[in-house]
Amino acid sequence: DRRAASARRAAAHAARDEWVFEGSGRAVEYVAGRRWEVAATGFWQAHHAAAQRYSDLIAEWSELGPGGRAWDLYSGAGVFAARLAEQAGRTGVVLAVESARPAVADGAAALRDLPWVELRAQRVERWVFEHVGGAAPDVVVLDPPRAGAGKEVIGAVTASGPARIVHVGCDPAAFARDLGLYQAAGYRLTDLRAFDAFPATHHVECLALLRR
């Protein structure tokens, strides 16, 4: 099972040929008045309204004020990082981590006016272990892949002691397993929302707010 999981991860991050038959191969999206230009083959929310709706809720739940410190893990092109950065202001710090380098490059271009956001192209599993024991974030936002964040990442996040965690999940079973790990680490679920973001399928998107 471990070999199979390793092979899947390697395949997901391997270089792939892309053929553009028409247009630029780029997509333009807007969230909270900010423009993103991303690769058409890259990640974006499946539902047209999802990125705006999720980022609005994360901004509401984060309670981040000027000078605040936030982590955005599995950050993609930095949509959530942008909202957190607007709340934290120039005296704040937002650290965003994403393993897909093209997404990080797209995010850096979209957020070039927010120098207090640091977007890092690195595996989240490695990054969180490097930052345990450092300055504690006020809030951590995670939007992991369908398999969830898992025991190692959640253990490192909770060990960092954030006051609030916002967890996003598109697979309810993996989402529930991750929530159980937070609760075992002393966090309690204080709000939960579910969105029909994948119409005509059995999939739902869930967002949870956890506090210690």
Q: Copy the structure tokens of residue 83.
A: 């909202």
Q: Copy the structure tokens of residue 3.
A: 């070999």
- The catalytically annotated residue of 170, 179, 181, 210 is 170
206 is catalytic: no
Nearest 5°: phi and psi at 117? -100, 125
Q: In terms of DSSP H, where are the helices of the chain?
A: 2-13, 50-62, 79-88, 101-110, 124-131, 150-159, 172-184
HSE toward the beta carbon, residue 3, CA cutoff 13 A = 0
Q: Can you tell me which residue has the tokens 């008045």?
A: 33
Nearest to 139, CA basis, from 191, 211, 205, 79: 211
How far does Cα 79 stand from its chain's mean position? 8
Contact 199, 168 (CB under 8 A): no
Give the residue numbers marked as catalytic.
170
